[in-house]
A and B are shown apart, each in its own frame.
Chain A
Amino acid sequence: MVNKALIIGAGVAGIQASLDLADKGIEVYVVEKEPSIGGRMSQLDKTFPTNDCSICILAPKMADCFGHPNINVLTYSEVQDVAGKAGDFKVKVLKKARHVDEEKCTGCGDCMAKCPVKNIPNKFEMGLGTRRAIYLPFLQAVPRVATIDAEKCLYLTQGKCGNCAKICQRGAILYDQKDETVELNVGAIIIATGYDVWDPTPASEYGYGKYPNVYTAMEYERLICAAGPTQGHMERRSDQKRPQKIAFIQCVGSRNVQLEHPYCCSVCCMHSTKEAILAREHHDDIESFIFYKDLRTFGKGFNEYMERAKKDYGVVYTNSDATVQENPENHNPIVVYDVAGHPEKKEVDIVVLATTLIPRPETRKLAEKIGISMDKFGFLESVDKLLAPLDTRVPGIFLAGYCHEPMDIPEAVAQASGAAARAAEVMVVE
């Protein structure tokens, strides 16, 4: 019986589970694919229904997690294989080479200032911002260690440049670092790998990718975030003009059999409401229009949040799905919607698509390797939906968060604590 746990995925659910277990004295490994922990919550501007600054409430947990004496965080790493059984799992983890010494780097940023490879689309900023070949994914990244993108680095691909090694006062650059495989021995595993944002380009009726001023909701979060690529100034793609009319279209990809995601992604009625409220908080003259199939604001206080948006923030809700055209003269999107069976058009400045959230392909691969069942969309299934919702059919392996099923942050955190308790049972029970 090994008194250690592994958590795969360091978003808010993974971080919560790690803290719960570590505080109980159990040693925890956290394996995170990205160079920083934090996950999706670190990308959001504010969280509903409290409109808290997302990274402000997450970062202390990120710091606690990384600094906790019982937690070993392996970032830029991926689980390759799991063998064994509950109480005694042998896990192979690939630690990808970031070519920077994690012990020496202080995140001072000297290297990034000198890197000549610029304008690489930054995944954290959903492509709205850029980074360099050596980078920190975002300002509050934990660990605050630079990472070199081996495919873009001039030294690693062509033997040229070498600026970062020359400028680094700590000698932290390790061009020769190799990927490393480590083997972990743990008693229980929690999978908390979260979601991907679906790319709405194939649904050409929304014009995403064709019309410059059509955004996904996650792109919008980065656009209005004060720490985002435009410092919270909502400069739209076509002409950097600040929008005054914003249309939100719900259920883009979700609740849609044609586009093969018939499920409801559970959060976008609330997050579009939140985003509309935030727009008005930025500028008094912004009018927001939300086009919905149904308003699913079902949590405690959620309907009141939506009513506040209507009354106090002037958000206009229209019960209709919509498609998007464009005014070619000024790239203003035109929303076409249905009012009692008549098509109506509304010209706006930007359209925000509440795109569906989908399970990650990497999670699918992992689940197939480990033998965890998935539904046909790739969500990981529990062994008993009603009475053991966090247990997978592999004893000792548990679920938390969106990789399990669509849910919001409070539910993901609750599932994380639940999964931590289940994991602890495996190790503490004699």
Chain B
Amino acid sequence: MVTIDELIKDTGAYDCVECGKCTTVCPISNANPKFAPRLIVVKAMAGLEGLAQEPDIWTCTTCETCSDMCPYKVMYSEFIRGLRVEAVSLGVKPRCSQHGLMQNMMRMMTNPGIKQNRLKWVTPELKIADKGEVFYFTGCLPQMSIIFEDREGVNLLGIAQSAVKIFNRAGITPVVSNQEVCCGHDLNWAGDEKNVEKLMKINLDMIKNSGAKKVVFSCPECLRTFDVDYQDMAGDLDYEFMHISEFVADLIDEGKIAFNKLEEKVTYHDPCRLGRHLGIYDAPRDVLKATGADLIEMGRNMKKSACCGVSAWVSCESLTKKMQLERMVEAVGTGAKKLITACPKCQIHLRCAVSKEMPFEKEKADIPIQDFTIMVANSLK
């Protein structure tokens, strides 16, 4: 855990010139005039006490629209995360949605003796292995598929099944392990670094034992956590971490898979973790085009993609619905038949907004959401 001074230095917050450009693009600021990324930094620089107890540090969705725009590349979301770590160490309880179920489930997985039954989704025609060159990390898809069983329009196990189908079609038998534990993303962004380290050790041991050189993720949050946060904690790891969109793009280049051109009209939502956090914008688009999809871009796309409204289950509040509905309305407005996203969380969060109790007619915001991996698998020849 670092001090506020170290946090200011590490995140470049010292470079903030208080120009406010972050405020002009922050999705939370635009919905909640009391919140602005730079206000927290201003208070920290002024040496104000009690920053870690500010409720506003939990409002930020860490979407990084601010730091992407910041002329001085101040890492606001890292700053917020650092404050959350301090808050938790001081005994602050974050306001977790789902009554804290998600974080508790993740903490349970730090128990090395835990017995999981995670592989029931593997149907007979899907080939997986215990050892191999390529590891497919499913993340919390199995658990979340149960927790969100009754959420309309959400298909999570299909993502894992589609991923394995794609690997198999390309002649690859991926390692899929029953020993997987949560990557720890939602604990990391809720200030619980200690448990992330425990989860990391379990996961890294598991991958080492599998003999894999390449780890492929269908969830950008898992990918970010392995690629950025684990390497921050454990030093350089000698694996290649990639998102499934990048993996499929490579397969296309190598001529290992082909598609039946489906020619569906789709629009694509860039997840924050895949886009702004990791810079992966082109691979999913290249793949979608290769499947024959007619991709219609939303106005707020690529670097300007609108956050799905929630991060780490701590920032869900009254204005979240507003942000989510605006995004869904934007997607409907493109005229596309489907909204494709490459992050299971985005799918869960965006579908949460569309329900019977909405402030306007359902058709204005109701568009089917399909995960990128499922769409690709459905298009395979």
A residues near B (Cβ < 8 Å) are: 204-205, 251, 255-259, 293-294, 320-323, 336-339, 341-343
B45 close to A (CB within 8 Å): no
B174-203, CB < 8 A from A: none
- Select from chain B the residue with minimum beta-carbon distance to A335: B24
B33 and A342 contacting across the interface, CB-CB below 8 Å: yes
Cβ contacts under 8 Å, B26 to chain A = 343
Cβ contacts under 8 Å, A258 to chain B = 68-71, 73
B33 and A255 contacting across the interface, CB-CB below 8 Å: no
A205 and B69 contacting across the interface, CB-CB below 8 Å: yes
B39 and A341 contacting across the interface, CB-CB below 8 Å: yes
Bound-state CA distance A204–B25 (Å) is 12
Cβ distance B54 to chain A, nearest Cβ, rounded Å = 13
Interface size on B, residues (CB 8 A): 26
Given contacts A204-B304, A293-B17, A294-B17, is CB(A341)–CB(B72) below 8 Å? no
B289 close to A (CB within 8 Å): no
B24 and A338 contacting across the interface, CB-CB below 8 Å: yes
B69 and A320 contacting across the interface, CB-CB below 8 Å: no
Given contacts A204-B304, A293-B17, is CB(A342)–CB(B23) below 8 Å? yes
- Select from chain B the residue with minimum beta-carbon distance to A205: B69
Bound-state CA distance A323–B27 (Å) is 13
B209 close to A (CB within 8 Å): no
Cβ contacts under 8 Å, B19 to chain A = 251, 293, 320-321, 338
Beyond the given A338-B20, A342-B36, please list 20 additional residue pairs across the A-B interface where CB-CB is below 8 A.
Answer: A204-B303, A251-B71, A255-B17, A258-B69, A259-B71, A294-B17, A320-B24, A322-B24, A323-B21, A323-B69, A337-B20, A338-B24, A338-B36, A338-B38, A341-B38, A341-B39, A343-B23, A343-B26, A343-B30, A343-B36
B29 close to A (CB within 8 Å): yes
Cβ distance A380 to chain B, nearest Cβ, rounded Å = 25
- Select from chain A the residue with minimum beta-carbon distance to B23: A338
B21-62, CB < 8 A from A: 21-26, 29-30, 33-36, 38-39, 42
Which 6 pairs, one residue from A and one from B, show the smallest C-beta to C-beta distance? Answer: A338-B20, A341-B36, A321-B19, A338-B23, A321-B21, A256-B71
Bound-state CA distance A258–B20 (Å) is 15
Bound-state CA distance A343–B36 (Å) is 8
B29 and A342 contacting across the interface, CB-CB below 8 Å: yes
Given contacts A336-B24, A342-B23, is CB(A257)–CB(B71) below 8 Å? yes
Cβ contacts under 8 Å, A343 to chain B = 23-24, 26, 29-30, 33, 36
Bound-state CA distance A338–B70 (Å) is 13
Bound-state CA distance A257–B75 (Å) is 13
Bound-state CA distance A336–B33 (Å) is 13
B71 and A255 contacting across the interface, CB-CB below 8 Å: yes
- Select from chain B the residue with minimum beta-carbon distance to A204: B304
Bound-state CA distance A293–B70 (Å) is 12
User: Which residue, of B17, B20, B69, B71, has the highest number of chain A Cβ atoms within 10 A?
Assistant: B20
Bound-state CA distance A125–B20 (Å) is 33
Bound-state CA distance A320–B23 (Å) is 10
Bound-state CA distance A147–B16 (Å) is 50
Cβ contacts under 8 Å, B42 to chain A = 341
Bound-state CA distance A205–B24 (Å) is 10
B24 and A321 contacting across the interface, CB-CB below 8 Å: yes
Cβ contacts under 8 Å, B21 to chain A = 205, 320-323, 338
Bound-state CA distance A294–B19 (Å) is 8
- Select from chain B the residue with minimum beta-carbon distance to A256: B71
User: Which residue, of A204, A322, A323, has the highest number of chain B Cβ atoms within 10 A?
Assistant: A323
